Structure 1
Amino acid sequence: MELRHLQHFVAVAEDQHFTRAAERLMVSQSGLSASIRALERELRAPLFVRTTRRVTLTEAGRALLAEAERILAQVRAAHEAVAAVQGVVRGTLSVGTEQCIAGVHVAGLLAAFRRRHPDVEIRLRQTGSGALGEEVAAGRLDLAFAYRTQTDTDQLRCAPLATEPMYVLCHPDHRLAGVSAALTPEDVAGEVFVDFHPDWGPRRATDVAFAEAGVRRTVALEVNDVHSLLDLVDENLGVAVIPRHFRHKREALTALPLKGTGEAVYETVALLPPVRSTSPAARALMALLETGSG
């Protein structure tokens, strides 16, 4: 099995199209098809279901994809490790993050990294914490800044960034705005809730908090960005449960501490592969973060 066969396979899987993958790889379509056929012969299994419009992975193809991505990431890391020994950090740094993550100013950190390592190509992906963890574990991301969703495994480790309590956010005219004390999940159980997609860290933290309190709630207004959540609360269409640092993003809204949630907190971490698999670029970025240079 040759590395180029795996590279070709991953490209077709990502693009779901032979012509587009061939153009991206700058190889002929016939050569790409021959490469995939050679890989299928070696593995004795079809990897794609081919139609006139697109190609999709077979069960065997899906099984191979995760391993192929991991192998290619390890090869990339080996090249970068040799360069690092020679005093050069280069290659690609693929970073993932949630929006408005606590404990790190992502834009400032990446800018500081670029100033120090201009030969490294920076790629950034923004999505939910669950997906970020999967992508780091699979080698598609070098590291990610996310909400802690699990303990360390043999494929993923967590470096703590920040821990915050949760707050209830509401419009100044809302009935809860006049409450002077902290609120409990029971106090807001009957409210209309604005919240993020279930894969987002703040949503996960809130779901855990209410589950630990034994209180059910229904999210009526679900969004995928912070400003939409704030806008909906600002129009008094519902209340939101947010990490503490979110309350400063819209000063006109009322933020009240949420208590009675047991051990549930909003904890953010840097998600990293095992030490042996962490790229020199990722180590350099974490060093900047730890020294506060970003």
Structure 2
Amino acid sequence: MELRHLVYFVTVAEERNFTRAAQRLRVVQSGVSAAVRALERDLGARLFERTSQRVVLTDAGAALLPEARATIDAAQAARDAVQEVGGGLRGTLRIGTLISVPFVDLPRLLGRFRADHPAVDLRLRAAPTGSAGLAASLADGELDVAFLSLPGRPPATLSLRTLAEEPIVAVLPVAHPLAQRATLDLADLADEPFVDSPPGYGNRTEVDRAFAAAGLARRVAVEVADIATVKEYIREGLGIALIPRFSVPDEPALRVIPITTALRWTFAVATATTRRPTAAVRALLGLVEEYR
């Protein structure tokens, strides 16, 4: 069993497609297919169900995936140890992000990182399922580091460094009947249509939990993946929102009102506790504070 075969297998498993895996690995597709077949012969089991439409892990493939990732991580740790002595990091750093990354100038951060470590390739990915998806990808080994928002106590599988905390506030059109109130309760808002992020996003999770704890139901009339655009939908009268204060500029068309239930949005950088951070991850984390 060759390490290269495991790398090809994991890449196909993540891409769910041999062509995309070959493009990501920068090799011909036939080489990826041949490596996976060789690995299947070594293990005496099919690892993928292949059809013209999709590639799906078999039970054997699903069992191999975490072990393959652990083996690759161990090999990377060995490379890191040598590279840190000789200088010059190499490899790939897989970074998960929110669609909008507040409080960290990510392009400048990565520009500085690239200047220091030009041989490390960067792969950025925004999860369609928000911070919950990023957390799952970290725990599964699909990402090395992620910038995310997880309310409450973090899972034991993740190590988080909090970068910012913001109060969640009510945002209403200025003509709304409640817009002149000094504060608002959740009960005041329960019958309103909401503009909110999809399930899995940190701010949506925090608000959903608060309404459930208060025994209140609410209707999300519009789901918007980019929190920075929520204000635009409120301005057009499509609903109200409970969102972090940073995402709402002061403008005449909107009213920002504190709520009596203390809700907070937390922004953090996270790694998995189940894997030793690579030298590239440690180097990136060391730069984060400079670009906040």
Q: TM-score, normalised by structure 2?
A: 0.86
User: What is the RMSD computed on CA atoms of the aligned residues?
Assistant: 2.6
What's the offset of the Cα at 1:28? 6.4
What's the offset of the Cα at 1:130? 0.9
1:12 and 1:21 in contact (8 A); partners too: yes
1:106 aligns with 2:106: yes
Instruction: Tell me the residue number matched to 1:151.
Output: 154
Deviating above 6 A after TM superposition, structure 1's stretches of 4 or more consecutive aligned residues are none
Which range moves more in the overlay, 196-205 or 121-130? 121-130
For residues 88-237 of structure 1, what are the structure 2 equivalents within 5 Å? 88-127=88-127, 128-149=130-151, 150-153=153-156, 155-179=157-181, 181-237=182-238
Cα displacement string for residues 173-203 of structure 1 (whole angstroms, at most 9, x for unaligned residues): 1112111x22111110110001011011111
- SS of the aligned residue for 2:62 comes to helix
Instruction: Tell me the residue number matched to 1:43.
Output: 43
- Structure 1 pair 20–119 and aligned structure 2 pair: CA distance change class (3 A): closer
- Structure 1 pair 14–143 and aligned structure 2 pair: CA distance change class (3 A): closer
Cα displacement string for residues 109-143 of structure 1 (whole angstroms, at most 9, x for unaligned residues): 22332333333322211221111112222222221
- For residues 77 and 251 of structure 1, what CA distance do their matches in structure 2 show? 54
2:18 and 2:29 in contact (8 A); partners too: no
Which range moves more in the overlay, 216-225 or 142-151? 142-151
- Structure 1 pair 161–251 and aligned structure 2 pair: CA distance change class (3 A): farther
- For residues 276 and 288 of structure 1, what CA distance do their matches in structure 2 show? 20
Cα displacement string for residues 240-259 of structure 1 (whole angstroms, at most 9, x for unaligned residues): 11012112286642111122
- SS of the aligned residue for 2:183 comes to coil
- Structure 1 pair 147–218 and aligned structure 2 pair: CA distance change class (3 A): same
- For residues 217 and 252 of structure 1, what CA distance do their matches in structure 2 show? 24
- SS of the aligned residue for 1:215 comes to coil
- For residues 104 and 21 of structure 1, what CA distance do their matches in structure 2 show? 30
1:73 and 1:140 in contact (8 A); partners too: no
- Counterpart code for 2:132: G
Instruction: Tell me the residue number matched to 2:66.
Output: 66
Cα displacement string for residues 231-287 of structure 1 (whole angstroms, at most 9, x for unaligned residues): 2111011001101211228664211112225xx421222111239611222212222
- Structure 1 pair 160–91 and aligned structure 2 pair: CA distance change class (3 A): same
Paired residues in the alignment total 288
- SS of the aligned residue for 1:197 comes to coil
- Counterpart code for 1:2: E
1:47 and 1:57 in contact (8 A); partners too: yes
- For residues 251 and 280 of structure 1, what CA distance do their matches in structure 2 show? 48
What's the offset of the Cα at 1:293? 4.7
Q: TM-score, normalised by structure 1?
A: 0.86
1:168 and 1:258 in contact (8 A); partners too: yes
Instruction: Tell me the residue number matched to 1:283.
Output: 282
- Counterpart code for 2:171: L
Instruction: Tell me the residue number matched to 1:268.
Output: 267
- SS of the aligned residue for 1:176 comes to coil
2:132 and 2:150 in contact (8 A); partners too: no
Cα displacement string for residues 126-167 of structure 1 (whole angstroms, at most 9, x for unaligned residues): 2211111122222222211111254252x4211122222110
What's the offset of the Cα at 1:21? 4.3
Runs of 5+ unmatched residues, structure 2: none
